[in-house]
Every structure is written in C-alpha cells, then in structure tokens.
Amino acid sequence: MLHAHYRWSTLKPNEQAVAKLTSEMKLPEMVASLLVTRGFDTKEKAEAFLSAGTEGLHDPYSLHGMEKAVARIRQALEGRERILIYGDYDADGVSSTSMMIRLMEHLQADYEWYIPHRSKEGYGLHNHALEAAAERGVTLVVTVDTGISAVQQVAFAKTLGMDVVVTDHHEPPAVLPEAFTLVNPKLPFCSYPFKGLAGVGVAYKLACALVDKVPSSWTQLVALGTVADLMPLTGENRILVSQGLVSMTEEPLTGMDALLQVSGSAAVNSTTIGFAMAPRINASGRLEHAKEAVELLITQDPDKAAAIADKLDLLNRERQQIVDDIVQDAVKQLEENHPDGTVPSVIVLAGEGWNVGVVGIVASKLVEKYYRPTLILGIDAETGMCKGSARSIPGYDMYEALTECADLLDHYGGHPSAAGMSLHRDQLTAFSASLNAYAEKVLNEEHYIPVLTADLECTLDEIHVQSIELLSKLEPFGMNNGCPRFLIRGTQILECRQMGKDRRHLKITLKQNGNVVEAVAFGKGPWAGLLTEGAVMNLVAEASINEWNGSRKAQLMLIDGAVDHAQIFDYRGIKNPWHKLDELFDHWQSLPENNKGKAALVARPDSGTKLYRQLRELPVWVYDRNAGLIMESAEAAARCRPEEVTVLFIADAPETPEQLNAIMASFGAVERIYLLHSAGEESERVESPTREQFKQVYALLRKAAEQAVPEPKLIGWLSDQTRLSSRMVTKTLAIFEELNFISRDRGMIRLNPAPAKRPLESSIRYNELSLLAEMEHYLLYAGISELTEWILGRMKGVS
C-alpha cells in the first residue's frame, strides 16, 4: 500500500450551469466545469474572465488617498524636491521599487531609492535611513510594498520635515501611521473594488494615475511581483499578469531576458516566474542585498544584466544549500524538544547562525512536512534579538495570532498565511505558548489534516494534448486560479523509476483501458521503494505537455498518490538477502509516519541469528512445526503484536501450507510483503500430483520392486524414468506407503503384491502434497503478477 499524504476532495460543479455554459459559449465540458467551480458560472462572468481585457481595470483614483498622493508627487516634481523611494527586499518589494524608479525616470524627477538589508536591518522603515535621507535633502518619501504599520517611523520622518506617501498592500494594523496619505486597497475605508493587488500592483496604479500612457513593458514588473508574492490571479491581477507575460514573451526587459536565459526557461508563464525567476530575485535580498536585484530590473545594459543574473543564479544555489542545512537543524531541534514524537499545534524554532534571509523558506518546508503553523527565527548571538518568518495553514490567521501576542514583539506584519516578526530570545517561550494557546481556540483536529482538492475526476483517456491545450484558456495559473487538478482512479503502474540529481524525483508510466501516460512526481523519489509494477494507483495530478525533439505528448505532474491494496516486493533468489534486508530496513526507517507502520521479519529458527542481533529493533517471528509461527523472543513480543505489523520481510519461505496459513492469519494488517527467500530449483520441484503420474510410478514399481530394492537407488531410477524430481518421487513413495502399496524395511522398499484398493484422496499425504505443490509453485516459481494475485486472494480468504 501507499498512503496518500492528503485527504482528497473533489469539487462538484453545478451540472445545469455547466451545461448552459457549454452550450452558450461552445466550450468543452471540461473547461466549462472548471469555470463554474471557480465562480464564473454565467456567460458574462466567464467571458470577462477569459478575455482578461483592459475594460476590467479599475480607475486608479478609486484608491483611497490616490488623489493626494498624485498631487504631492506633482508638487515635488514642480519644486524639484528630492524624493526617496523606500522599498522592501523581497521579489514584490524589488519589483515595486523598480517600478517607481522607472516612473521617476519617466517623470525626470530628482530621486533616490533605498531598500533595507534583510538581516542587518529587517523589514520596514528605519529611522536611521530616514534621518540620512533628510540630511541629503529628501523632503518626500514614497514607500512601496511597505509602510502601513510604520507608525513611529512616519512620525519621526515628519519631525525631520519630510512628508510620507505610503503605498502598500499588507494588512493594515488597528493604529495607522499619520502619513501625508495612505494608498492601500485593504484599508477598511477604501472602496476600491479589488483588494488583491500586490505591492507592485499598487505602485503600478500610482504610475497610471501620474502618466497618461504607461509603457506596456512595466506590466512585466507587475507580473513578477504579483506571482512571486502569491497574490490571487483573478480580477485586475489576472489582467495585468496576462499583459506582463505577453510583453515578457514579445520584448522582455533587459533584466528579465537575462533572468530567463540564466534559468534556462523555454516558456514564459506564471510557473516560470514562480519557480525560476522569483527565487533568483529573492536570493539577492536573502543572502546579500536586494539592491543588485533592483539594478538588474532597471538596467538597459545587456552585459551588466547578464553579469548580475549569473550572480543571482549562484546566490540561489547557495540559498538552496543553506535552506537544506537549516531544515535539518530545525527538524533535529523539534525532535529533541519533543522526544515522544508529538508535534505541537504551532511549531516555533529558533537557532543561532540561522540566516534570517531564508527562514521563511524553511518555515514553508516544515509546514509541508508537519502541516502545522510554523515560525522559524534566527538569533543574533550578541544582542539576543530574533528575526523570523511564519507560514500558516488554513484556519490559523497568522497576522491575528501575532496581534494576540503583540506585547511580546518588537515588530510584526504580514498576511493571514505568512508574516514576519522580531523579538528578544527571552520572550521565545512565552511567544510559543501564546501562539499555541491561540491555536487551541481556533483549530480542531480536522485543521491538522491537509486537504488536496481536485477540480475534476477523469480517466487517462481524457488527458491528451488537445484537452491540455484547451485548459490554457484559463491561464495564467496561480493563487485562486490554480492549474487544474485531476483525480484519476484505477491506473496500473507499468514502470516506476527514480530520476534527477540524487534520484530525488520519480517517473511513473501508467496505463488505464489501453491508454498510457507518463507521470512525473517531483521530490517523491523515495516512493520508488513503495511501488510495484502492476499495482493499481489512484492519484491527483496536474496535466502538461512535454515537448522533446519536436515531439509533443501529454504528461501528468503527480501531486499525491495512493495504492489501496497490499503489495508484494520480489527479491527472491537475491545473492545477498541479508544485505538487501539491511537496505530495505534503512529505507523503511526513513519513511514518513503515514507510510511507515510497524515492521517484522519471518525466518527459520536456524537462519541468520547474527542478523537478528544486528536488527534488534526488528521483531522476528520463526517457523514452528507445530504452532506454525512463534515469536523469536519474549522481548520482541512485548514490543509488537502481529496484528500491528504493516511491513513484513520474509527471509525464508514457509516449508508447509500450515506455516503459510499462520503468516496470513497472524499478519492481517500487512500492507507490504518483501520476499527475500531463495528461488526454487527445478531439481527439487514438487508438482500437484496427477493420476497419470501415480499410475506411471506404480507401473514402474511393479517392474522394479517386486524384490526389495535400496531406496536411494530406486528413487534415482524412478526420477530418470519419469522426469520427476527426486523430492517429488520421495513424496510419491511416502503416499504409496501410507496407502500400503509399498513397505519399507531398513532402507529397502518392496512392492506389496496384493494391496487393498484405496482411493488416492484418502491419503493425508496426497492432500498435503497438493497444497504444498500449489504453495511452492507460487512462492518459488511464479511471476510477480501471478504471485501477487494469489497472495492477495489468500489474504482475502483468511480475512
């Protein structure tokens, strides 16, 4: 078996709405179903969504404070005041800052720009930066993607004689800064129709208010920041990102082109931005300073852009290694803090030397591993100050949770799903306790089970190049408009192999009703040891087109999968079964709990006792001629009951059907069986006896055994004459002896001249031989498909 990581659900579209949309818009039913489940259930809504036309953009002056912001900037332009653009160090902040720089250049303003250092300064406005700007003659500060919670800093700027125009999109706090004006669609008194703009989206709206015709290339920056900041790709964002992607495809900005080249991206879409471009932009601010990323996005020099892009690529690789190292440290710390294996409702971990530029990524990886709201903080060993990032799960509003314990924090800000904060290490214990207490109020058991929602249930024959091309009507994909996910049941695994660096990924070939499709599962390389050819797999996946050497074919991107039946793993006849058992046992120990269960070993009493001591954590059952199966030791019996075993290693094949029955009866919950016993040898093979064979042997006995014959000599001669194995001849003679057809005396065999007539079926040994032959045929000689079917049938019969 393979247990799904998620609890699956499937959206159920209104069938009448789907039928109507299919008819009115001449759409394929699959596309119509997706539109309906996403809320575009009428022709008018669907057309507006699909067209993504500029008529869907809102008047920038609908944003509260926009009129005042424009007036103040124009006043600064006329008076040749020096303007400071104050941004943030993430991809949205970098995009926003670059947008404002391009705007200031376009307006021929006297300006400068500033982004704080992530680890040395942290998020938000800083008094020392404002003071230095004032000394350089700055009289107007325009913030982008930051400032909505900078109450004290804005007040300080006013004492320096500077006005502050705040443009932001983060959640507004209860107390707002007394800036010259605030531009943020999330302000409670702002009536702007679309609340989901990224920081760069707000900056773009300011540009639209100030410039009659904004260059179309600026939408490339909107696309980058919006996708990178995980903003919803609906409403205005869908329109602006669509325009940005078209512009990026047709005539990319110099820096964008360099990013695309260094990332090796052939296609330009939201996935390219999210997984290729944004991480490299973010790497700059995470490990060094975000100013280099800004320089990349504003330069028009191809050589300079290429050099910066190469550096960001190297920084991104370094960032990946740092993240892996901190993840390992964090997991170790969590396990040490909770040796009983429990995981708290909210995970709070902090470490000295942890790079605060990547703690958000680490938090995301721990959420993926444990599915708990997670906060990861880096501690400054000298000052004791902690800076961190949080990632949450549905149902736990991280911003609200931080607000509940605001008295413990020096600073915080963010969204319901992600946030940043700083505090002293002395407050960490109380901080963790407060966050967990909040979880007790708002979360229940169901919140801790991750849910994976599929858009549609379909079959493999519906996944083809033409249907996938039709889905492109819904692009760009992203938050609130995800790439369609399909639930597909009952596919058969034809082949499964690991691929990629360190064999971290998996490629699975699936078949259903004659249709064959390849699936790729990123990060699921360990599944290779949990899947067998022929297994029936249910899965949730996205669909894409794989283009290679001019060939185009459908491909599934597997998100989660499950095998609902027990599986048999065939290592029969392997040269070193104990070494293989070591390897399999290590793999089993590394599995996540949902696929781990309890493991046990079955062997003969005289087999590999040294190994038992080596694998003392592995309970051992041994064959017994009378009981069928017994525990190897009382200590093992105390650790594990047979009904708890889900993984069974069989080192030696059972010698009798009774022993096999004992295995089936004892281990009723087994999910995976690993066969490590030797394969059968033809010279020792027993067969299901036939009347013809018995007649042939008996006829030969009448010729050879009227006088007493030595048993070894007779067995060899009968084996040569009948082509039966010596073992089969021996068992046949035992049946004849039970039926009194022959007699044995001191190693000699003699035929009884006038035996009583008795049917073969009356012999106990005859019936035992039939059962033994069947068991050995499957366990020692049959192919894995035939063997699996037989064992599963036996397991059902026992249950």
Is the CB of residue 601 less than 8 Å from the CB of residue 619?
A: yes
Assigned domain for 1 exists:
no
Please state, in angstroms and rounded to a whole number, the distance separating the CA atoms of residues 268 and 271: 8
Is the CB of residue 475 less than 8 Å from the CB of residue 270?
A: yes
Is the CB of residue 306 less than 8 Å from the CB of residue 259?
A: no
Please state, in angstroms and rounded to a whole number, the distance separating the CA atoms of residues 93 and 278: 12
Domain termination site, one of 273, 299, 314: 314
The amino acid occupying position 754 is A
Assigned domain for 120 exists:
yes
Is residue 107 located within the same domain as residue 235?
Answer: yes
- Here the CATH number for the domain that contains residue 535 is 2.40.50.460
The amino acid occupying position 371 is Y
User: Whose structure tokens read 């002293």?
Assistant: 424
Output phi, psi for 646, to 5 deg: -110, -15
Judged by DSSP in three states, 179 sits in coil
pLDDT at position 799: 46
pLDDT at position 615: 56
Q: How far is CA 66 from CA 46, 182, 476, in A?
A: 31, 8, 28
Assigned domain for 410 exists:
yes
pLDDT at position 794: 85
Please state, in angstroms and rounded to a whole number, the distance separating the CA atoms of residues 150 and 175: 10
Q: Please report the beta strands in 431-484, taking only residues with DSSP state E, as ranges in sequence order.
A: 451-454, 456-458
- Here the CATH number for the domain that contains residue 426 is 3.10.310.30
Please state, in angstroms and rounded to a whole number, the distance separating the CA atoms of residues 647 and 674: 8
Is residue 279 located within the same domain as residue 352?
Answer: no
- Here the CATH number for the domain that contains residue 602 is 3.40.50
Please state, in angstroms and rounded to a whole number, the distance separating the CA atoms of residues 46 and 48: 5
| Length of the chain counted residue by residue | 799
Is residue 621 located within the same domain as residue 490?
Answer: no
Torsion of CA 399, 150, 165, 103, to 10 degrees: -70
- Here the CATH number for the domain that contains residue 761 is 1.10.10
Strand 742-745 to 748-751 pairing = antiparallel
CB neighbours of residue 456 within 10 Å: 19
| Of 276, 274, 275, 310, the residue nearest 292 (C-alpha) | 310
Assigned domain for 233 exists:
yes
Please state, in angstroms and rounded to a whole number, the distance separating the CA atoms of residues 123 and 148: 12
Is residue 263 located within the same domain as residue 217?
Answer: yes
Surface-to-core class of residue 702, CB atoms within 10 Å of its CB (0-12 exposed, 13-18 middle, 19+ buried)? exposed
Q: What angle do the packed helices 691-704 and 726-738 form, to 10 degrees? A: 80
Assigned domain for 46 exists:
no
- Here the CATH number for the domain that contains residue 232 is 3.90.1640.30
Taking the chain (799 residues) in runs of 10, the rounded mean pLDDT of each run is 92 94 91 93 92 92 98 98 97 98 98 93 92 98 96 98 97 95 97 97 98 96 96 95 97 97 90 95 93 97 98 96 96 93 95 93 95 96 94 96 95 88 96 97 93 94 91 91 95 93 92 96 90 94 89 94 94 90 87 83 77 65 86 73 92 91 91 92 83 89 85 92 90 91 89 86 89 91 90 76
User: Whose structure tokens read 């093992």?
Assistant: 636
Output phi, psi for 410, to 5 deg: -80, -35
User: Whose structure tokens read 């067969």?
Assistant: 687
Assigned domain for 336 exists:
no
Q: How far is CA 457 from CA 1, 488, 781, in A?
A: 22, 6, 40
Judged by DSSP in three states, 2 sits in strand
The amino acid occupying position 330 is A
Domain termination site, one of 547, 562, 577: 562
Please state, in angstroms and rounded to a whole number, the distance separating the CA atoms of residues 453 and 514: 27
Is residue 289 located within the same domain as residue 355?
Answer: no
Please state, in angstroms and rounded to a whole number, the distance separating the CA atoms of residues 677 and 700: 36
Is residue 667 located within the same domain as residue 720?
Answer: no
Is residue 77 located within the same domain as residue 196?
Answer: yes
Helix or strand run (H / E) with residue 584: helix 577-589
Is the CB of residue 379 less than 8 Å from the CB of residue 352?
A: yes
Beta bridge partners of 456: 486
pLDDT at position 267: 85
Is the CB of residue 536 less than 8 Å from the CB of residue 564?
A: yes
Print the domain residue range for 407: 343-449
Strand 110-114 to 620-624 pairing = unpaired
Please state, in angstroms and rounded to a whole number, the distance separating the CA atoms of residues 475 and 270: 8
Is residue 673 located within the same domain as residue 687?
Answer: no
Is the CB of residue 484 less than 8 Å from the CB of residue 471?
A: yes
Is residue 464 located within the same domain as residue 528?
Answer: yes
Q: Is the dihedral of CA 678, 683, 686, 687 positive or negative?
A: positive
Output phi, psi for 92, to 5 deg: -70, -45
Please state, in angstroms and rounded to a whole number, the distance separating the CA atoms of residues 293 and 316: 12
Assigned domain for 304 exists:
yes
| Of 41, 40, 58, the residue nearest 49 (C-alpha) | 40
Beta bridge partners of 232: 479
Judged by DSSP in three states, 727 sits in helix
Is residue 115 located within the same domain as residue 251?
Answer: yes
| Of 489, 453, 480, 467, the residue nearest 543 (C-alpha) | 467
Is residue 517 located within the same domain as residue 551?
Answer: yes
Assigned domain for 481 exists:
yes
Is residue 147 located within the same domain as residue 240?
Answer: yes
Beta bridge partners of 412: 421
pLDDT at position 684: 85
- SS3 track for 639-652: HCCHHHEEEEEECC
Domain termination site, one of 413, 428, 449: 449
Domains of the chain: total = 5
